[in-house]
Amino acid sequence: MTWLDLPADSLFGVDNLPYGVFSPAEGAPRAGVRVGDLVLDLAAALDDPVFAQASLNPFMAQGVARWREVRARVTELLTQDRHRAATEPHLHRLNEVTLRLPIEVADYVDFYASEHHATNLGRLFRPGTPPLTPNWKHLPIGYHGRAGTVVVSGTPVVRPKGQRKPADAEAPVFGPSVRLDIEAEVAYVVGTGSALGESVAVADFAERVFGVCLLNDWSARDLQAWEYVPLGPFLGKSFATSVSPWIVPLDALAHAWVAPPPRDPEPLPYLADAGKQGLDLTLEVRLNGHRISNPPYTSMYWTGAQMLAHLSANGATTRTGDLYGSGTVSGPREDQYGSLIELTAAGAKPLELPDGTWRTFLEDGDEVTLTGTAPGPSGSRIGLGEVTGRILPERPEPPAFWRT
């Protein structure tokens, strides 16, 4: 229990305690822990300068023993009455602070770990061939994305421009994307890295990964379709990737671990499961406030532990602040798809929203919000927070004489 006045069904009770970075009304950005609709200023409450910084990276770099120590201490402060007087002054109201990108992103990788999503996209992008490529069930397919365009929830997304080739055209045209999409994902944040030439074993996942957040991998499908052969997605993805402001530590997910789906064929030994490393997370996708999907993370073929083992199997360094996304989370049912290209069959079946409008892809002014929850203790739920973004119209090029 806690001395805080929290509703019993709060998604941000003392079993959650996710980490973020906030700017108070006055003063520099600093690390905080969310509880209810409040943020605890860690630098002040714990009197530790590692938290008086604009990213969680310095704290994450201290390692898993320290993460557990801090979580235990924060739990103590928020649950024992004797700490109330000293702790209360360091709590800020959420609506009086600005939430910031919680980590300094080192490398960003995005995987493709949902069998349903990969199958759906294979059918749409490569009709007439088997939807899953021959490698898909042998390794978690992934690629590097642009770390510099990972932005925090709430950051507006300017409609990207680029080349696309209309089906009936001889040559590509350049202009704003006309097939702007979302991808509902879960992402993992690496807390402590590994040296060049090393690999991180599947079993070592929990001592390397600090926590999880939600991620929207905005995707310009027309740009992507034209550019992605042979070296993969580039401008179709690199214009923006939004993340939720709260990193939920793995220890808060104690009740969420589940066995992943059966795999056939058996993965190679370096990808063998080490316990229940699947996660029972439920996502929700809202478009302009209307729920359009509930992707179930339990259906993901590859686990976060397998993704990390794979990405470091070749000896690649991992670093504090590395971020890797699961890829779009799509379940088997149509109301569980995590992208508009799937929800609308690539635009062939527009989606009617409850406000009477129809959508294929995103229009200017549209706002997309992903939320997620996980099982907590005793049938409760904990929240992953939300990641939201609104589409702004393409930015016009300034005339040449404006440039200096």
Q: Using CB under 8 A, which residues numbered 77 to 136 contact a copy of itself? A: 106-107, 109, 112, 122, 125-126, 133-135
Integer Cα distance of 298 and 301 in angstroms: 8
- Select 75 or 317, whichever has its Cβ closest to a copy of itself: 317
115, 183, 222, 227: residue in contact with a copy of itself (rule CB under 8 A): 227
Measured CA to CA, the distance from residue 337 to residue 329 in angstroms comes to 7
| Residue 144 found at the interface with a copy of itself (CB under 8 A) | yes
Helix (H) or strand (E) holding 311: helix 304-311
**Interaction of residue 160 with a copy of itself, rule CB under 8 A:** yes
Total Cβ atoms within 10 A of residue 3 = 16
* Active-site annotation holder among 90, 92, 117, 310: 117
Scan residues 255-284 and list those touching a copy of itself (CB under 8 A): 265, 268-270
Closest CA to 184 of 279, 297, 261: 297
Under the criterion CB under 8 A, does residue 199 sit at the interface with a copy of itself?
yes
According to the binding rule CB under 8 A, does residue 71 interact with a copy of itself? no
Q: Which is nearer to a copy of itself, 312 or 373 (CB)?
A: 312
* Binding of residue 395 to a copy of itself (CB under 8 A): yes
Q: How far is the CB of 237 from a copy of itself (least distance, A)?
A: 9
Is there a catalytic annotation at residue 290?
no
The distance in angstroms from the start CA to the end CA of the chain is 61
Of 141 and 214, the one with the shorter C-beta distance to a copy of itself is: 141
Phi and psi at 111, nearest 5°, equal: -95, -170
Q: Which residue's CB is nearer to a copy of itself, number 87 or number 277?
A: 277
Question: Closest separation between CB of residue 130 and a copy of itself, Å?
Answer: 12
∠ at Cα 121 (212, 111), nearest 5°?
Answer: 30
Maximum CA extent, the chain: 74
Residue 265: is the preceding peptide bond cis (ω within 30°)? Answer: yes
Indicate the SS3 state at residue 307.
Answer: helix
- Which are the catalytic amino acids? 117
